[in-house]
Structure 1
Amino acid sequence: MSDDNPHSSRGSAGKSWLDRIASIFNAEPQDISDLQDIISEAQARSLIDSDTKSMLQGVLEVSNMRARDIMVPRSQMATIDIDDTVADMLPILMENNHSRYPVVNEDKDHIEGILLVKDLLQFALDPNVTDWHLRDLLRPAVIIPESKRVDALLKEFRQKRYHMAIVVDEYGGVSGLVTIEDILEQIVGEIEDEHDDEEENDIKKMASRVFQVSALTPLDEFNETFNTTFDEEDADTIGGIVLHAFGHMPARGESIELQGLTFKVSKANSRRLVQLQVIRAKEPVESEES
């Protein structure tokens, strides 16, 4: 007698799917390498897609990382001096486009606190408000050692609701900083903000000679905008041209000059360039004929 129960086949299929997952874990992984093999096998069996695989592998990698492995190095930290005026700060804010900055006293080993750009706006936009000092706007700086586990740091970020930590070496000197975005990008890949996903913002003018340019900007669009002659047979994007010129994967802050333009890496990860700052050279001043 045939079984006409419509739930029977679904139950069988569900059991089969669960059995497939269980069979993968029957090997009883002994270390992270075994877990990575299991994740790869899960993708091969179409139990997870490639994005899920990458995310799971990112979680495993983070569990072995320390703050020193993902921090922005001291040399690439964008900071503000405690005695800076709003006029002093604006070029730094425009160049880096961060939401928060460490504020230092004389040098980067003396961190006074963290400035949130939103806290500065009411003073920057109202020239009549003069009775204030930068020190009054600062949030406390969180200090962590280079050896801090990244997974533990992420937990602290979430529980204590802060977004940036200053990394110090064994002697107490500042060696870099870590943000919550730096950790999440290790898991889910590059996180693009609301300005990165709009096609019309591939090239954004920041100042008279300064532009923010997505590394994925098509080369023909870049050539047309900057009147350059980069060969489209060499690369499809301006990021490809810059990467080839460097000859290695550049870190944030590295720069190179090509065809009269200075290209500074403003955002990158271990796999690709993300965002470039492009600076046009000053035009020579023509002398007037007498």
Structure 2
Amino acid sequence: MDSRSEGSSAAHGAQDLDPPEPPGFFSRLFSALSPGEAETSPATRSAPAPDTPAPQAAFGISNLRRLRVDDVAIPKAEITAVPVEIGKEALVEVFREHGFSRLPVYKGTLDKPLGLVLLKDLALTYGFGNSGGRFSLRKLLRPVLYAPPSMPVGVLLQKMQKERVHMALVIDEYGGVDGLVTIEDLIETVIGEIEDEHDDTSDTYWQLEKPGAYIVQARAPLDEFEAETGLDLSVEGEDEEEVDTLGGLVFLMCGRVPARGEVIRHESGAEFEVIDADPRRIKRLRVRLPGSAPAASASPAPPPEKDG
């Protein structure tokens, strides 16, 4: 790539008639970003007025140098992984339940990862009428990358491109697993959220799952959902104008981005279960209306964290 091009130019100088090898895609992204753009001093940045709402996270090429791996990684508690001893049927069920295309595989605990298993490899070896012989997960393992939390996002992105690996485990100073990041997570810091075939792209913000329970997009307008359900979802002591969406309401109730699977109870009796989220935002919720069957893990919302 770039190193070969530079070495070739140094060896032949002006007499080199062969064109240099074109740089990789992510190398071109880096070259498009000047140092001054990536290293703007705090003094040159305009600070928002005190009463101006904090802006949402901006996307752009500068994030490749500005953000670190731990800024985008999924926390360890939210990683879906499987033990190497898992059976074929149980593995298929994990893929079916979570909808992922690849999963980390570990021995004993997640701090002892062995590699990755791809749904494609599983299907081609043991599906489509192929017996595949006796099931062995070890034969399906592919290598996984490891990255320190301080690594710049762009560096890991280039490493993933070079080694053709789409998932990396974040390793702490003691060698234990601290999180997980995919190549999609890294690219989304530049261009925004990437929706795949399984994401709901319809204009409908919610759908009735069963009587008393809704599946709701986090961006659903709060006032419209209140009109649909007849609930008053205001939060006592907070300015109602600060919250426009259902996801914003849940964030306000928690004071943080809740983890996938977490259940938050509103003072009205409604329960919000987070069914899709990443470390930066809530995506989808299951809302149970008062009087419907409660979730076993439901708990009151903790008071929002306050600065200072």
TM-score bin (small chain): 0.5 to 0.7
Counterpart AA for 1:74: K
- Contact persistence 2:214–2:287 (CA under 8 A): yes
Deviation at 1:164, TM superposition (A): 0.6
Taking a change above 3 Å as real, the CA distance of residues 125 and 214 of structure 1, as seen in their structure-2 partners, is farther
Deviation at 1:144, TM superposition (A): 2.2
Partner residue in 2 for 1:4:
none
Deviation at 1:282, TM superposition (A): 7.7
> Is residue 33 of structure 1 aligned with residue 40 of structure 2?
yes
Inter-partner Cα distance in structure 2 for 1:273 and 1:138: 32
> Matched residue of 2:66: which SS?
coil
Once the two structures are superposed, the pairs formed by residues 65-214 of structure 1 within 5 Å of their partners are 65-122=67-124, 123=126, 126=129, 131-199=134-202, 213-214=216-217
CA offsets, 1:154-175, max 9 Å, x none? 1112222211111111221111
Deviation at 1:139, TM superposition (A): 0.9
- Contact persistence 1:250–1:265 (CA under 8 A): no
Taking a change above 3 Å as real, the CA distance of residues 169 and 229 of structure 1, as seen in their structure-2 partners, is same
Number of equivalent positions: 237
- Contact persistence 1:164–1:178 (CA under 8 A): yes
Bigger mean CA deviation after superposition, 183-192 or 233-242: 233-242
Taking a change above 3 Å as real, the CA distance of residues 35 and 220 of structure 1, as seen in their structure-2 partners, is closer
Deviation at 1:149, TM superposition (A): 2.4
CA offsets, 1:41-81, max 9 Å, x none? xxxxxxxxxxxxx44xx322330333223221111111112
> Matched residue of 1:199: which SS?
coil
Scaled by the length of structure 1, what TM-score is found?
0.63
Taking a change above 3 Å as real, the CA distance of residues 91 and 216 of structure 1, as seen in their structure-2 partners, is farther
Counterpart AA for 2:139: D
Taking a change above 3 Å as real, the CA distance of residues 205 and 198 of structure 1, as seen in their structure-2 partners, is same
Inter-partner Cα distance in structure 2 for 1:150 and 1:142: 14
Inter-partner Cα distance in structure 2 for 1:136 and 1:78: 20
Inter-partner Cα distance in structure 2 for 1:261 and 1:120: 37
Q: Which runs of 5+ in 1 are unaligned?
A: 1-27, 41-53, 284-290
Q: Which runs of 5+ in 2 are unaligned?
A: 1-34, 47-57, 235-239, 296-308
Once the two structures are superposed, the pairs formed by residues 248-287 of structure 1 within 5 Å of their partners are 248-252=256-260, 254-257=262-265, 259=269, 261=271, 263-268=273-278, 270=280, 272-276=281-285, 281=293
- Contact persistence 1:216–1:274 (CA under 8 A): yes
Larger radius of gyration: 1
- Contact persistence 2:76–2:178 (CA under 8 A): yes
Taking a change above 3 Å as real, the CA distance of residues 131 and 182 of structure 1, as seen in their structure-2 partners, is same
Scaled by the length of structure 2, what TM-score is found?
0.60
Once the two structures are superposed, the pairs formed by residues 221-260 of structure 1 within 5 Å of their partners are 229-231=230-232, 237-252=245-260, 254-257=262-265, 259=269
Counterpart AA for 2:165: Y
Inter-partner Cα distance in structure 2 for 1:185 and 1:156: 17
- Contact persistence 1:255–1:265 (CA under 8 A): no
Counterpart AA for 2:219: L
Taking a change above 3 Å as real, the CA distance of residues 97 and 144 of structure 1, as seen in their structure-2 partners, is same
Percentage identity across paired residues of the two chains: 34
- Contact persistence 2:270–2:287 (CA under 8 A): no
